[in-house]
Structure 1
Amino acid sequence: MEFSQQLAITLIESKDEFPVDFEEAWNWIGYSTKQKAKNKLLNNFEPEIDYQVLLNQTVKQSGRGGYNREQIRLTVDCLKSLGMMAGTQKGKEIRRYFLECERIAKQAIEIIPAQAQEIEKLKLEVELAKTQERLLITTQAIATLHGTEMVALILGKPEAIVTKTEKAETLVTVDQFGRAIEKYDGIGISYLARRYGFAKNTKACHHWLSTIGVSEEQWLTEPALVKAKKLPRDLLPWLDKQYANKKGTRQTLLGE
């Protein structure tokens, strides 16, 4: 059997402390005789550290007894050193094979941790994506039930809450010199319908207002291109109170 790169890898990966058979090793290295290789081994290496000698009982076919057959096993390091000491071309090739194995192993040592880090990074990204997806679903549900302001509070971002300030439209009449004569800031029925949950049903809102005591005399007519009746703005707190106390026929009108 010729020595090869694959054989070098097999020997390195072997769990056997002495995986190399000396009978094959001296041929791989290119010693001229087995005895020369054995002398080099015995003179330069230590038994049970670099090599191991095993004696196997062999029975003769004549049945007159047997003899001990010697088997020598080497460590991988011993094989490499024995090859370098031989000074042969085959010995140099064996050394190059093992150097290539060491180079591959070194690359693996460098690559595997980097790959492990990349895998962990990808795992974290996947978990983050799952968390963000769950957060999105949860916040959408909260926003639907309680509004976006509640989501901002839950996420610890009260500064994200936008306070909606009511815009009051004020109409001012002036004389020929531009001086204010009278100011009107009444509240129209469309605004009141939206405020108290009637949406665009201004007729139902008007009916509800009459059931809680708002008379026709309280409606103001502002001087505009299109005249519209409006309630005085200072009446708004009282209307809010009536709405909160469920006064009048609002619930009946809306079917609540």
Structure 2
Amino acid sequence: MNFSQNLAMVMVQSTEPFPVDFDNAWKWIGYFQKSDAKKALLNSGFIEGIDFQVLRSVPQNSKGGRPAKKLYLTVDCFKSFGMMAGTEKGKQIRQYFLECEKRVKEIIPAQNAELEKLRLEVALSQSRERLAAATQTLEGICPGLSALAFGKPEAIIEKERPTTVVQDAYGRSITYDGATITELTKRYGFGKGTKANNQCRAWIRSMGITQDQWIEEPAARITYKLPKEMLTILDQQFSQGRGQRQKLLGEMN
């Protein structure tokens, strides 16, 4: 097996501390005898356990004998040993590794950029999950509250209005079916706020509906409601454009 650029890259990317088999290394470098190569290696100042590793195996035959030794080198030791040999093959090996290092320098930034992109995507996904959970929690408390909490102050918060309960002399609950001025203001497009409520009241009066026709709902705070049956009349008047609604809203001269 000849040494090649691809083989050099495999060694550079290997997770093994001693990936180079000396039985191949001395041939790749250009030595003619393994014994000469081994002697040169051991006399070159390389340190066992740091630059190379010696593995001893017990003979498998019944006659016994000396344990066999196998040498394995680190990539740096292999490169240095090749340069020390002074052979053309040794120089070529060094060039292979230099090219590998150049490629690695190009690959690592690209990999880091991809990893950073993936990290940001994961962080964004987690943020979206947390936001969805927070939104669900806020909406459970009060519909529309999440929009207000997340930077939309113009959001209209709609919360189910509790029914006012009044008890008669026998302890039976009394409820009034109708709509408050705030609900009517929204229903007929006057907007919201005190001014809008006043405009809506004026429009209702222009329909001939007086204050006496409103229901007074006794509670801790008195609430006035327009009876449900009156809404049908107002809906008809609204659909036909009657009354002073447009004038009150400034939609006509």
TM-score with structure 1 length normalisation?
0.52
1:127 shift after superposition = 5.2
Where 1:10 maps in the other structure, the secondary structure is helix
Aligned residue for 1:116? Answer: 115
Where 2:71 maps in the other structure, the secondary structure is strand
Aligned residue for 2:91? Answer: 92
Matches within 5 A, 1:61-140: 66-126=65-125, 131=131
Alignment-mate amino acid for residue 73 of structure 1: Y
Aligned residue for 1:38? Answer: 38
CA gap 1:114/1:160 in 2 versus in 1, 3 angstroms: same
Residues 112-158 of structure 1 show CA distances to partners (whole Å, capped at 9, x for unaligned) of 3322222233344445666489859959x936xxxxxx787655766
Please report the RMSD computed on the Cα atoms of aligned residues, expressed in angstroms.
4.7
Aligned residue for 2:48? Answer: 47
Alignment-mate amino acid for residue 102 of structure 1: E
CA gap 1:122/1:6 in 2 versus in 1, 3 angstroms: same
CA gap 1:166/1:36 in 2 versus in 1, 3 angstroms: closer
2:195 to 147, 162, 165: 165
Aligned residue for 1:27? Answer: 27
Aligned residue for 1:232? Answer: none
After TM superposition, the structure 1 stretch with the greater mean CA deviation from structure 2, 76-85 or 36-45, is 36-45
Partner Cα distance (2:150, 2:56) in 1: 78
Partner Cα distance (1:65, 1:129) in 2: 69
Partner Cα distance (1:192, 1:31) in 2: 109
Alignment-mate amino acid for residue 48 of structure 2: P
Partner Cα distance (1:121, 1:59) in 2: 56
CA contact (8 A) 1:29 1:88 kept: yes
1:72 shift after superposition = 2.6
Structure 2 unpaired stretches of 5+: 157-191, 233-253
CA gap 1:121/1:164 in 2 versus in 1, 3 angstroms: farther
Aligned residue for 1:18? Answer: 18
CA gap 1:5/1:165 in 2 versus in 1, 3 angstroms: same
- The number of residue pairs the alignment matches comes to 188
Structure 1 unpaired stretches of 5+: 144-149, 170-186, 195-201, 214-238
Alignment-mate amino acid for residue 87 of structure 2: T
CA gap 1:151/1:164 in 2 versus in 1, 3 angstroms: farther
Aligned residue for 1:177? Answer: none
Partner Cα distance (1:20, 1:92) in 2: 17
Q: Percent identity?
A: 37
Query: Greater CA radius of gyration, 1 or 2?
Result: 1
Aligned residue for 2:241? Answer: none
Residues 76-96 of structure 1 show CA distances to partners (whole Å, capped at 9, x for unaligned) of 221111111122222122112
Alignment-mate amino acid for residue 81 of structure 1: S
Partner Cα distance (2:153, 2:31) in 1: 85
Residues 182-230 of structure 1 show CA distances to partners (whole Å, capped at 9, x for unaligned) of xxxxx97xx1168xxxxxxx4xxx3x53x938xxxxxxxxxxxxxxxxx
